[in-house]
């Protein structure tokens, strides 16, 4: 009887609860995170270790109270009479402003999570009416996308302002460094070239190269020149002709004239060679002297040159900082103007037909299963506590005495069978009477 009665009672209670509890409808919208695409301005892509944390952050932002405030304002829920009535009926002593209370209530009914194996976030909202559930779910998706874009733009503007400040500092430091270098150059007369080498050091290197070059010396005589060879050949010819020709012979006279001309030419060549050799030696001595003087000059101003190089290094560093800060600020300014975001709407919410709470089949089926389990458990418990006498073995176990005989009772049975507890009491009374 208990096994049947308890499930029946629980099913009736569950049925009544199903019809009395206020229903809850859930609508779901979906947004897609384009986290695997590179940034349209910077070209950066999220690394895998940061992807999970990024998605978790986005789902928490969707469920945040601040997001709910934007939804309430966009749907004008502050004028909802049902919401205002619930606010008036809240617990006494709760002095939370209406907008904070309403945003907390909306946020408590928001669910957001990543669909497994995808980059799609599903946004769900539960409400007492299907229309409100759909409207709030759609508003959440829209507000989330707009907020994501606005936050990205605002962050880009803030970062751009910071980089602009750094660029201004770097520019001021660059101007100061350049002014210091110019003043030092005017004071010392030193000027660095593009390769950070001063003019005196460059001149020293040129002189050292010139001094190291081999000195080309001309031959000491001009015997190997064409004129000298021709003169030697002419001397041989004149000697042979003198043996056969007279001193006044025209050919001999012509050869002697030519001999005089060649002799003068050879003498002139010899003088030129000697002059060139002397000039070369003189130039070598001058170059060596200039090299030593320039070396002494460079050694004397080495400290000044090194200081000038350090100044140039600082200028290069400041200029590089200025270029990088200005370039990054320009990128961020461009990013702040881009109307693209890493979130896009995938699908709007649809009006739900059936409530998700209370779930009638689940409630009634659960009540039936719980009733059956509870009835069976209670029946077993009663059987253990108040066990009935159903056989001779039960009687022997209750009295602790042997059963001598069994007398059948053919009379109609009325009432319930005696219980083991009554048998034990009868045994005690018989023992007391015999005593």
Q: Tens digits of per-residue pLDDT, 268-325?
A: 777 777 677 666 666 666 666 666 666 666 666 778 878 888 888 999 999 999 999 9
Reported pTM: 0.57
Rounded CA-CA distance 38/53 in Å is 18
- pLDDT at position 409: 61
The predicted pLDDT at position 103 comes to 94
Q: What is the rounded average pLDDT of the residues 133-157?
A: 93
Q: What is the pLDDT of residue 54?
A: 85
Residues 126-147: what's their mean pLDDT? 94
CA–CA distance, 145 with 98 (Å, rounded to integer) = 25
Q: For residue 254, what pLDDT band results from cuts at 50, 70 and 90?
A: confident
Segment 373-420, tens digit of pLDDT: 877 777 777 767 766 666 777 667 766 677 777 776 656 555 555 554
Residue 67 confidence (pLDDT) above 90: yes
In 3D space, the residue among 322, 291, 328, 299 whose CA is nearest the CA of residue 159 turns out to be: 328
The predicted model gives 324-331 an average pLDDT of 93
CA distance linking residue 56 with residue 63, whole number of Å: 11
Is 163 a residue whose pLDDT tops 90?
yes
Q: For residues 403 and 434, give the distance between their C-alpha atoms in angstroms, rounded to a whole number.
A: 19
Mean pLDDT to the nearest integer, 131-151: 94
The answer to whether residue 209 scores a pLDDT higher than 70 is no
- Which pLDDT tens digit goes with each residue over 174-205? 999 999 989 988 888 777 776 666 566 666 57
Q: What is the 3-state secondary structure (H, E, C) of 248-316?
A: CCHHHHHHHHHHHHHHHHHHHHHHHHHHHHHHHHHHHHHHHHHHHHHHHHHHHCHHHHHHHHHHHHHHH
What mean pLDDT value characterizes the chain? 78
Least confident of 96-100, 126-130, 324-328, 410-414: 410-414
With beta carbons less than 8 A apart as the criterion, state whether 107 and 65 touch: yes
> What's the whole-number mean pLDDT along residues 228-232?
74
Q: What is the spatial distance between Cα 340 and Cα 316, in angstroms, rounded to a whole number?
A: 37
pLDDT the model gives residue 432? 40
- Sheet of strand 120-127, all strands in order from the earlier edge strand to the far edge: 110-114, 120-127, 25-33, 343-347
Query: Can you tell me the distance from the alpha carbon of 345 to that of 140, in angstroms, rounded to the nearest whole number?
Result: 11
pLDDT of residue 53: 84
Out of 237-246, 292-301, 357-366, which region has the weakest mean confidence (pLDDT)? 292-301
Count of Cβ atoms closer than 10 Å to residue 56 Cβ: 12
> pLDDT class for 36, splitting at 50, 70, 90?
low
Look-up of token digits 């602009």: 164
């Amino acid at each position: 009887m208990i096994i049947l009665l308890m499930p029946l009672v629980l099913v009736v209670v569950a049925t009544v609860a199903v019809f009395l509890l206020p229903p809850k409808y859930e609508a779901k919208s979906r947004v897609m995170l384009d986290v695997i695409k590179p940034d349209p301005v910077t070209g950066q892509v999220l690394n895998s270790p940061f992807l999970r944390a990024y998605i978790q952050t986005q789902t928490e932002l969707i469920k945040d109270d601040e997001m709910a405030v934007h939804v309430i304002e966009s749907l004008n829920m502050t004028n909802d009479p049902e919401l205002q009535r619930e606010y008036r009926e809240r617990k006494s002593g709760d002095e939370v402003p209406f907008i904070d209370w309403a945003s907390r209530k909306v946020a408590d009914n928001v669910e957001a999570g990543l669909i497994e194996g995808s980059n799609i976030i599903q946004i769900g909202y539960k409400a007492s009416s299907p229309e409100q559930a759909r409207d709030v779910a759609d508003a959440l998706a829209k507000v989330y996308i707009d907020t994501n874009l606005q936050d990205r733009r605002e962050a880009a503007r803030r970062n751009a302002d910071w980089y602009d400040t750094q660029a201004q500092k770097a520019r001021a430091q660059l101007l100061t460094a350049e002014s210091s270098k110019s003043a030092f150059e005017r004071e010392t007369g030193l000027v660095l070239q593009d390769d950070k080498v001063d003019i005196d050091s460059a001149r020293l290197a040129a002189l050292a190269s010139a001094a190291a070059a081999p000195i080309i010396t001309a031959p000491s005589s001009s015997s190997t020149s064409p004129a000298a060879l021709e003169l030697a050949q002419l001397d041989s010819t004149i000697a042979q002709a003198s043996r056969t020709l007279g001193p006044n012979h025209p050919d001999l006279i012509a050869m002697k004239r030519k001999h005089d001309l060649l002799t003068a030419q050879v003498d002139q060549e010899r003088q030129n060679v000697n002059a060139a050799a002397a000039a070369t030696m003189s130039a070598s001595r001058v170059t060596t002297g200039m090299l030593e003087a320039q070396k002494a000059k460079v050694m004397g101003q080495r400290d000044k040159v090194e200081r000038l190089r350090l100044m140039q290094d600082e200028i290069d560093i400041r200029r590089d900082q200025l270029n990088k800060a200005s370039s990054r600020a320009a990128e961020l300014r461009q990013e702040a103007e881009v109307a693209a975001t890493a979130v896009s709407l995938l699908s709007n919410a649809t009006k739900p037909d059936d409530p998700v709470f209370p779930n009638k089949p689940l409630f009634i089926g659960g009540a039936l299963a719980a009733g059956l389990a509870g009835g069976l458990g209670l029946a077993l418990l009663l059987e253990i506590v108040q066990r009935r006498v159903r056989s001779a073995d039960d009687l022997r176990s209750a009295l602790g005495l042997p059963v001598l005989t069994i007398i059948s009772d053919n009379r109609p049975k009325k009432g319930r069978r005696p219980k083991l507890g009554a048998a034990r009491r009868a045994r005690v009374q018989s023992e007391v009477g015999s005593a």
